[in-house]
Structure 1
Amino acid sequence: MTARPAARTLRTTASITLAVLLLAACGDGSTDTGGAPEGQALSHVHGLGVGSADGRVYVATHDGLYTVAAGKQPNLVGDRKDDFMGFTVTGEGTFIASGHGAEGSGRPGNLGLIESKDAGRTWSARSLEGDADFHSLDSARGTVYGYAGGRIRISSDLQTWEDRASLEALDLAVSPAGDKLLATTAEGVVASTDGGRTFGEAADPVRAFVSWPAEESLFAIDVSGRMSRSEDGGQTWKPLATVPGGQPQALTAVTADHILAATQNGVYESRDGGRTFVELAPLAA
């Protein structure tokens, strides 16, 4: 009997923390200038990925897109120091992203959906320029799922978009089969089986970010940095390691074994399915 109030307290604390993250993710879109100076740590990570052509780890930040590797300084990709928000790898050398143009760049405050076909060196505007800022992007079977302005939006050609459910979410993950969409909310993870048109009741526990690289390998990280894995689409979870550095900023599971996570103080990588993590790059507080 005594465990129930404690469980409620933990869930309430996690919900409040995630609510704070949700508010932080809905800022005014302003950006700093200058990027990450030579020799200094990156900060404000919004997305992670691995280039399928080059195998490099890419980190989308408040001040540009960088590659990182253990023991090396972060390297700015291209010359854009935009605030990259939603970011995902969709093919060999092909990335999609969203965010805000850097001050003085002449690019709009809301970049809409942008695409790179040369691993982030150059970008082109595909749709919704000046209108949308996707805070989360994922794709499966040729369909892109985005979260912008409190609404799920989907596209099969990166140009035309269909608006679907409205909700307050931090992150999205679509199943590899494309038949289930998850969203993290302050009440717990919610699931849709109709492409984001409707969502079911929130399920415990509260998660911050989710990533779904293989049908039986769904990963999540909670607000304290604790990783977990589900083999049944989020019905049950198995606890894994806690990523160092506290509150998470981003999560991408590249495969069932290869996982990237960013927390308050670093970008970390696991090669054993989330059982252990090593630091790739520090983050400034």
Structure 2
Amino acid sequence: MTAFLVLVLAACGDSEGSTAGSGTEQADEGELVHVHDVLVGAGGSPVYLAAHTGLYELRDGEVVARSDHFDDLMAAAIEPDGTLIASGHPDLSTENLRIAGKPPLLGLVESDDGSTWTPRSLLGDADFHALVVTEGRLYGADSTSARVMVSDDGGHTWEPSAGDAQLLDLAINPADPDQMVGVDLDRGLAVSDDGGDSWAPMAGAPNLVDLEWTSSALVAIDAEGAILRSTDAGLTWTPAATLPGAEALGSDGTDVYAYAAPTALHRSGDDGESWSEVTP
């Protein structure tokens, strides 16, 4: 694969002329556009950004593109062995990620390093907007079926949960995988205590756009870029900090990372109370 492209981080937004996503929009080569997910490996390394224009990696304080393809990665995660998994919409020039007669949906794809992707399951059938890896189980919030899908074999086969949920993001309690909190397109913040078989809206909850469940708290971004946290599974929220432009979170279970458009990746070791910038 081609050498890494060192980025000048660009403002969040779409440019004309792309093969990414639906195939009707394109960003300029090397331009980071709309980060959907921050991936953090065990111990804080590696750190990746899954974006509208592909996968990027934090290296020596800089963000570099992992590929010259513009796959629109709506969700991504790191498996325990370091394998990358993702979902979203393929660059239409990538023929192995499309099936004739089916919509351009990645289903679940895998990669050793993010330079190329290989289908694992549901190609053309699923569009996961969140992927959560827990011990022995993989969860995916599928926008096509409006279900949380569950896999016990690493995403090769899936079973849908019973509850209707059009989730934009999903967080799972590391101490109790049946307890889930999601950002629902229609209901706002919603909670499930039975592994996604039923969902209930959380009355009075803030307007959140992204969630991460660390070992000690739920950390979230609201629509204005404020960082909030909850220590009671989302029942109540406390303002923690403000990161203007914040749009995506990730965590290794201890530290939390936040990408803030147009230029900055930040890290917090205290569940969002204080932050340090890790990109120049």
Whether the TM-score (by the shorter chain) exceeds 0.5 is yes
The one-letter code of the counterpart of 1:58 is Y
How far apart are residue 122 of structure 1 and its match?
4.0
Q: 1:240 to 1:114 in 2, by over 3 A?
A: same
The answer on 1:265 being equivalent to 2:262 is yes
List aligned pairs for 1:28-43, cutoff 5 A. 29-30=22-23, 32-33=25-26, 36-37=29-30, 41-43=31-33
Counterpart in the other structure of 1:152: 148
Counterpart in the other structure of 1:98: 87
Task: State TM-score, norm by structure 1.
Answer: 0.77
Q: What SS class does the counterpart of residue 166 from structure 1 fall into?
A: coil
Counterpart in the other structure of 2:275: 277
Q: 1:28 to 1:104 in 2, by over 3 A?
A: closer
Q: Would the aligned equivalents of 2:266 and 2:279 in 1 still touch at CA under 8 Å?
A: no
What is the distance in 2 between the residues matched to 1:54 and 1:237?
Answer: 26
The one-letter code of the counterpart of 2:125 is D
Q: Would the aligned equivalents of 2:129 and 2:167 in 1 still touch at CA under 8 Å?
A: no
Q: Would the aligned equivalents of 1:31 and 1:102 in 2 still touch at CA under 8 Å?
A: no
How far apart are residue 92 of structure 1 and its match?
3.6
How far apart are residue 279 of structure 1 and its match?
4.0
Q: What SS class does the counterpart of residue 167 from structure 2 fall into?
A: coil
- Consecutive unaligned residues in structure 1, runs of 5 or more: 1-26
Percent of residue pairs identical = 37
Counterpart in the other structure of 2:16: none
Counterpart in the other structure of 2:170: 172
How far apart are residue 212 of structure 1 and its match?
0.8
Q: 1:154 to 1:110 in 2, by over 3 A?
A: same
What is the distance in 2 between the residues matched to 1:34 and 1:234?
Answer: 36
What is the distance in 2 between the residues matched to 1:56 and 1:181?
Answer: 26
Q: What SS class does the counterpart of residue 235 from structure 1 fall into?
A: coil
Counterpart in the other structure of 1:140: 134
What is the distance in 2 between the residues matched to 1:125 and 1:277?
Answer: 37
How far apart are residue 79 of structure 1 and its match?
4.7
Q: Would the aligned equivalents of 1:99 and 1:111 in 2 still touch at CA under 8 Å?
A: yes
The one-letter code of the counterpart of 1:213 is T
Counterpart in the other structure of 1:213: 214
Q: Would the aligned equivalents of 1:187 and 1:206 in 2 still touch at CA under 8 Å?
A: no
Q: What is the number of residues matched between the two proteins?
A: 247
Q: 1:181 to 1:96 in 2, by over 3 A?
A: same
> 1:192-220, CA deviations, whole angstroms, 9 ceiling, x for partnerless residues?
11110101232312221111121x32111
Q: Would the aligned equivalents of 2:268 and 2:276 in 1 still touch at CA under 8 Å?
A: no
Task: State TM-score, norm by structure 2.
Answer: 0.78
CA RMSD of aligned residues (A): 2.5
The one-letter code of the counterpart of 1:169 is L
The one-letter code of the counterpart of 2:42 is S
Q: 1:30 to 1:184 in 2, by over 3 A?
A: same
Counterpart selection for 2:58 from 68, 84, 89: 68
What is the distance in 1 between the residues matched to 2:69 and 2:43?
Answer: 21
Counterpart in the other structure of 2:230: 230
How far apart are residue 62 of structure 1 and its match?
1.5
